[in-house]
Structure 1
Amino acid sequence: MTEPTWDPAQYLRHAGHRARPFTDLLARVPGLPGDPPRIADLGCGPGNVTALLADRWPTAHITGYDNSPAMLDQAQAQAHAGPTPGGGRLDFAPADATAWTPAEPYDLIVSNAALQWVPGHLDAFPAWLAGLAPGGTFAFQVPHNLDAPLHALMRELAATPRWKDRLGHVLRAGDSVHAPGVYLDRLARLGCATDVWETTYHHVLTGEDPVLDWVKGTGLRPALTALADDPGAREAFVAEYRDLLRTAYPSSPYGTVLPFRRLFAVARKEA
């Protein structure tokens, strides 16, 4: 998989739809042991959902971590960083989740739609849980839809003779997200009281080629990054993919429906 270059503005074009799973995740997080609590957000992106943590825990000291300078710059530019209205604090710091380990005890480690980009993330769970305070929680959600046309058509196109040499190995692998039972078993064996579930959202998108516009902010990023040095090829690949998406996700008078399945996990460490 190619490490993608991120475009915060493109990602935020569907901010409302992308934020909803995070609020659904937070609704299942139990009370935190610290007062005030210490919270880490792994893969915070442009910071818009990280700021929601301060609504739920107003006094918390929250740090959003990301390995994209562009995303961190956007988080700072939107004035998310600094004191929060409830007396807490929100800050951002560079970190790569593939190597990050807690340097202090956290009451909550949360990750929103980021672990699918972290190879071997299951192996990081023991260190992350060790960094939780007793009674703390590890919670995350990830897309679980690599079998959907959105991704299947992208992979099929990338594997065609025209594109396979440049794109055959740059997209997310099929095991970038595991089955729900795998997460449940791993977290439960690590001593956590664990809740795992899935939800399929049916997003109604509007505008011209809205599904393409959606995926340009996320799953298509590795291909766009790999073709960045050849604008003509990039435009050609996007055009072919766009035509496939138009057939797979037809428009209607009220918009275009994008079914999107997500996987959630909330694991509470023993107090």
Structure 2
Amino acid sequence: MLRSLYSGVSGMRGFQTKLDVIGNNIANVNTIGFKSGRVMFKDILSQTVSGVSAPDDVRGGVNAQQVGLGVSVAAIDTVHTAGSAMTTNVVTDLRVNGDGFFAVGTAEQADTPFLTRAGNFTLDPNRNLVNSEGLHVMGADGAGPIVIPEDIVSFSISQNGDIIGVNANGETIATGQKVGVVKVINPAGLEKIGGNLYQMTANANPAGEITVGAAGDPATGTGTLISGQLEMSNVDLTGEFTEMIIAQRGFQANSRIITTSDEVLQEVVNLKH
């Protein structure tokens, strides 16, 4: 059988995966904190028709003759560039201005929380700061879930995550609560688990360690927190539609390779006539 037939099949499979990723990006264009994905290709091991010969005193060297066997997906990367800011003026809406992720989870998950860039938080009836799935927002320095004290009439969140309250007498008081931020060395190594959440892996941080630290810490390089804003998706529709056209044409070109290879094989079969 012709090698080009299998090369065309591998190309169609690769571009189908690329279209799947593009479709997911476009579907999440308005998802808070969503990070777009991209597909990178690599060539498959080539078949060597003739090897390399070194030059000598009589004649020069000869390069190898190799025929490629198609393409495969090298990586599906998550692009962690910052999304644009959306102002909501809701105190519990938070945006990380820089590097870092919010840590969320159940009360028993304080040591192994999930990570997210979606800061659309609210207060539950027990005055816990939670996300839209009811997961607790973790405080800095291993403080556990954040609970807003009952004696507070109103509160605000500073850029370093401190929750500052105002009591019934109009006095400003320190609540002792601080929204934590997790620094991730290789954000692309995080595993998406749905619900705007990421799971830590050994390829994101050494040994998969999670340290919930303070926002705006120069020692760790974490970003500051902006209250009253949310981070939008970083999907660029112009770029996605351009990549869609490229993927569509690539798929069509590879299907043409299969059609042409089939016509050649048909000619071979017809030789007996």
Q: Which band: TM-score by shorter chain?
A: under 0.3
Larger-gyration structure (1/2): 2
Q: TM-score when scaled to structure 2? A: 0.22
Give the helix-richer structure, 1 or 2.
Answer: 1
